[in-house]
Amino acid sequence: MSGAIERATEHQARARVALTAALASGPSHAYLFRGPRGAGKSAVARAFAAEILAADSADPDDARRRVLIDPSPHPDLVWLTPRGAQHMVEEVRERVIRGASYRPFESEKRVFVVEAAEAMRDESQNALLKTLEEPPAFVHLILLSSEPALLLETISSRCQPVDFAPLPAEAIEASLPSEAASEERAAAARLSAGDSSRAHFLLSDSGRALRAAAPELSESWQQVLKAAEAVGEEAEAATRKILEDEAEAGVKRSARDITDEAKRAGRRRRTETLDLGLELGAAWFRDLAATASGAEDVVFNRDRLADLESRAVGLDPMRPRRAAELVQDTRRRLDLNVSEELALEALSFRLAAVFA
């Protein structure tokens, strides 16, 4: 096993075992890497692709080195990332489906990696099905998904699954920038639910604003919504810039396509951020209950322990536990497309009653 795979799978023992066995016996034509965001699926996929393409190369070390570069200059690695909320149908058809029909340029194999595979529209997934059913012998496809339930069953069933677990908090904390205070890094790691990208977000200005608003859901629920809207607007603007730059470079996209894709990306990010805000609120009430019970050692918001201790004086732990349940119930309601403002306002009234 290469050093790159060892490093990439340091905290993913099951994936390491599966991929080591695959390299020893000969890789399958299609894999589905499934697990939470930030669990390292992309890094493992790149290391695995490097071994596949280096195996029959005239200079394995050089081939491996070029595949591991991001973005990679190796001509036999195709890496597809969605620019907006979804993969463009044309990109999936051109770069993956049609690309899989071309013989390798310098290796004996070609590897196609599709990030956020669940973001492929049904049309793209159905078009990809034939490639999965009857791939050329030299083609290997790796689909990465944080939400595999959104993939068509016909797609999932034709891929060998490789499961990824959430990263341990200690590993995430070690990866966070040292500029942040140690207690804040510890809190971000524990609130990330094993997602390193989420932990980094929590140390950004937007993430800090969301954390600050979460404990005040009973009074300032508008601040959580406002923070989510700001993040959504940033995502929309960033996606629009990427798509416009690609259009100038020759990628065929109409102005309407660019606008629609940018808006979808913004809405998706806004929804994700609002859900995170509620999740942070539930974690805060959980910590408050733990503090009121004298169990400060299990608190996630370690950088705000003094505030928790102040609020926990004389507090019945059952109250914040009930508050956490109400927040989680609101998260489920929003999954059913309930009006966000009405759901949050109703939550604020319920929380106020709990702590009255």
DSSP per-residue letters across 70-84: SS---TTEEEE--SS
- The pLDDT, as a whole number, for residue 244 is 87
**Tokens 């509620």 sit at which residue?**
278
Residue 141 confidence class, pLDDT cut points 50, 70, 90? very high
**Distances from the Cα of 29 to the Cα of 131, 141, 287, 312, angstroms:** 10, 6, 46, 56
Q: In whole angstroms, give the CA distance from residue 232 to residue 85.
A: 12
- The pLDDT, as a whole number, for residue 303 is 95
- As given in the structure block, the two tokens for residue 115 are 């990030």
314-353 pLDDT, tens digit each: 999 999 999 999 999 999 988 777 789 999 999 999 999 9
Classify residue 308 as exposed, middle or buried by CB count within 10 Å of its CB (0-12, 13-18, 19+). buried
Residue 14 confidence class, pLDDT cut points 50, 70, 90? very high
| Domain locations in the chain as residue ranges | 3-163, 204-354
Region 68-93 average pLDDT = 87
**Distances from the Cα of 37 to the Cα of 116, 194, 241, angstroms:** 9, 8, 24
Nearby residues of 343 by Cβ (< 8 Å), 6 or more positions away: 330, 333, 334
- 19: pLDDT strictly greater than 80: yes
Residue 111 confidence class, pLDDT cut points 50, 70, 90? very high
Q: In whole angstroms, give the CA distance from residue 217 to residue 225.
A: 10
**Tokens 């049609």 sit at which residue?**
98
Q: In whole angstroms, give the CA distance from residue 271 to residue 278.
A: 11
- 310: pLDDT strictly greater than 90: yes
- 84: pLDDT strictly greater than 80: no
SS3 142: strand
Q: In whole angstroms, give the CA distance from residue 16 to residue 36.
A: 17
- The pLDDT, as a whole number, for residue 7 is 87
- The pLDDT, as a whole number, for residue 2 is 63
- 146: pLDDT strictly greater than 80: yes
CATH class of 3-163: alpha beta
Nearby residues of 259 by Cβ (< 8 Å), 6 or more positions away: 240
Nearby residues of 39 by Cβ (< 8 Å), 6 or more positions away: 12, 164, 165, 166, 167, 194, 195, 196
- 260: pLDDT strictly greater than 90: no
- Over pLDDT 90: what percentage of the chain? 71
Region 250-268 average pLDDT = 85
Region 18-26 average pLDDT = 93
Look over the chain and give the mean of its residue pLDDT values, rounded to a whole number: 91
**Distances from the Cα of 224 to the Cα of 109, 199, 207, 228, 355, angstroms:** 49, 18, 11, 6, 20
